[in-house]
């Protein structure tokens, strides 16, 4: 049987324009997990596709959609603000996606297809799936952000990526004002990447995502410390809830709560290098941490940063978290420029020591 849907009342079309509230000169400090205090010229929230369309056509805000998206800076879309570093005041309009709702749309013998609004908190979706015994996303527990942001980044953790359970998504082409549907193949998923970070960057706004979730589960336990944590929990035959609980415990033990210390989780991607590079580095650093990834090897960026001496480093109000070197933090009052400056020092240090370039996972604005 399909799990009970979580739905929300639709707004009458005639009242859409009345419900839209556009703010001017708004601080974004509470809308990004780094807690950086910058200002947006205009700020508005939308909770439905109808409200989004109304905002894009509103005469109250200067949204100028052009065909030159390489230089299109007038619209910034926010979900939870958990994978973004704001480096300056935002010109134009910031739109916060708050489309909610989780609904089962189809079921067969092996899978349940679950549709979620782009504004749903990602971890809430994971908990919903675990509660209803729907497998595929349990390893992605406690990742900050929203459902709509997850495909853009192709979020991943503990041997699982979003693309593994992704089915389709619906998005608005803001240039053509057309609704589009994207399959898994259409999204061109890569490591922490998708077509929405490349060819279609700033071009579309995702409003819902549909997932293909298992009823007969295949657990992924080999990556990271999941098996060890399950053993500590006294569990020999884990369920997807056990896996989710283990991941939550691991993440809470080494990652700062953004409500207490400003951060965006992993700041850098794990670099992927050739076998030759790994062999060379292991001659110098026998304890190098690497894993096979496609035709290459993925190095642990946190290990590289720690070995370069940055773990626990603090400079003013910015620093490198003392429990996980991959996380840069704002201890309070730091600017985006200060966080960028620290990240660049870390990049240069790692390049000097290992000959490896660390690419930011966080998006700079």
DSSP string, 121-152: BHHHHHHHHHHTT-BSSGGGTT--SBTTHHHH
d(CA 303, CA 90) in angstroms, rounded, equals 34
So what's the pLDDT on residue 13?
42
Residue 184: both structure tokens together: 């898994």
Q: Kindly report, as residue ranges, where domains of CATH 3.30.43.10 are found in the chain.
A: 20-97
Q: What angle do CA 222, 226, 313 make, to 5 degrees?
A: 110
Ordered DSSP codes for 147-163 = TTHHHHHT-EETTEEGG
So what's the pLDDT on residue 92?
87
- Strand 363-364 with 84-85, pairing: parallel
20-97: CATH class: alpha beta
Residue partners of 285: CB distance under 8 A and separation at least 6 = 307, 354
Q: Kindly report, as residue ranges, where domains of CATH 3.30.465.10 are found in the chain.
A: 102-214
Q: Which residue is it, tokens 């704002």?
A: 330
Mean pLDDT by 10 residues, the chain (365 residues): 39 53 94 97 95 88 53 76 95 94 96 98 98 98 96 94 98 92 97 94 95 96 88 93 96 93 95 95 95 89 97 97 97 97 98 97 93
Residue 177: both structure tokens together: 């004002």
- Select 102-214's CATH number: 3.30.9.10, 3.30.70.2190, 3.40.50.2300, 3.30.465.10: 3.30.465.10
> Helix, strand or coil for residue 263?
strand
So what's the pLDDT on residue 7?
39
So what's the pLDDT on residue 72?
45
Closest CA to 114 of 30, 192, 214, 11: 214
Q: Taking a C-beta distance cutoff of 8 angstroms, is the pair 166, 184 a contact?
A: yes
Residues annotated as part of the active site: 192, 266, 361
Q: Taking a C-beta distance cutoff of 8 angstroms, is the pair 155, 122 a contact?
A: yes
Fold held by 262-364: 3.90.78
So what's the pLDDT on residue 59?
79
So what's the pLDDT on residue 69?
41
d(CA 209, CA 103) in angstroms, rounded, equals 11
Residue 221: both structure tokens together: 């336990």
d(CA 127, CA 123) in angstroms, rounded, equals 6
Residue 217: both structure tokens together: 């589960």
Q: Kindly report, as residue ranges, where domains of CATH 3.90.78.10 are found in the chain.
A: 262-364
Q: Taking a C-beta distance cutoff of 8 angstroms, is the pair 95, 44 a contact?
A: yes
DSSP 309: T
> Helix, strand or coil for residue 288?
coil
Q: pTM higher than 0.75 for the full model?
A: yes
Q: Taking a C-beta distance cutoff of 8 angstroms, is the pair 68, 118 a contact?
A: no
Closest CA to 220 of 204, 202, 242: 242
d(CA 80, CA 83) in angstroms, rounded, equals 8
Q: Residue 175 CB: number of other CB atoms within 10 A?
A: 15
């Amino acid at each position: 049987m399909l799990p009970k849907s979580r739905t929300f009342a639709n707004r009458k079309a005639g009242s859409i324009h009345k419900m839209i509230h556009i703010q001017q000169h708004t601080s974004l400090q509470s809308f990004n997990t780094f807690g950086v205090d910058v200002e947006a010229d205009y700020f508005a929230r939308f909770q439905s596709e109808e409200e989004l369309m109304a905002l894009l056509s509103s005469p109250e805000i200067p949204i100028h959609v052009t065909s030159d998206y390489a230089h299109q800076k007038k619209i910034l879309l926010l979900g939870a603000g958990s994978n973004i570093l704001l480096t300056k005041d935002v010109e134009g309009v910031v739109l916060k996606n708050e489309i909610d709702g989780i609904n089962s749309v189809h079921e067969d013998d092996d899978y349940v297809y679950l549709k979620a609004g782009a504004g749903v908190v990602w971890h809430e979706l994971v908990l919903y799936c675990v509660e209803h015994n729907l497998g595929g996303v349990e390893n992605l527990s406690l990742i900050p952000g929203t459902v709509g942001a997850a495909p853009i980044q192709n979020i991943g953790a503990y041997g699982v990526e979003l693309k593994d359970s992704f089915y389709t998504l619906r998005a608005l082409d803001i240039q053509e004002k057309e609704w589009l549907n994207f399959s898994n193949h259409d999204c061109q998923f890569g490591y922490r990447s998708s077509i929405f970070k490349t060819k279609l960057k700033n071009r579309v706004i995702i409003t819902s995502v549909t997932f293909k979730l298992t009823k007969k589960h295949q657990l992924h336990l080999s990556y990271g410390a999941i098996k060890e944590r399950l053993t500590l929990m006294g569990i020999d035959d884990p369920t997807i809830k056990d896996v989710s609980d283990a991941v939550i415990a691991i993440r809470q033990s080494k990652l700062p709560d953004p409500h207490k210390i400003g951060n965006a989780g992993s700041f850098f991607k794990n670099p992927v290098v050739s076998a030759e590079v790994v062999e060379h580095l292991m001659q110098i650093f026998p304890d190098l941490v690497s894993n096979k990834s496609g035709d290459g090897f993925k190095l642990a960026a946190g290990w590289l940063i720690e070995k370069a001496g940055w773990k626990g480093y603090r400079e003013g109000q910015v620093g490198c978290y003392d429990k996980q070197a991959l996380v840069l933090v704002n201890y309070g009052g730091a600017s985006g420029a200060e966080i960028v400056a620290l990240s660049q020092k870390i990049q240069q240090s790692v390049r000097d020591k290992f000959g490896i370039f660390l690419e930011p996972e966080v998006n700079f604005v």
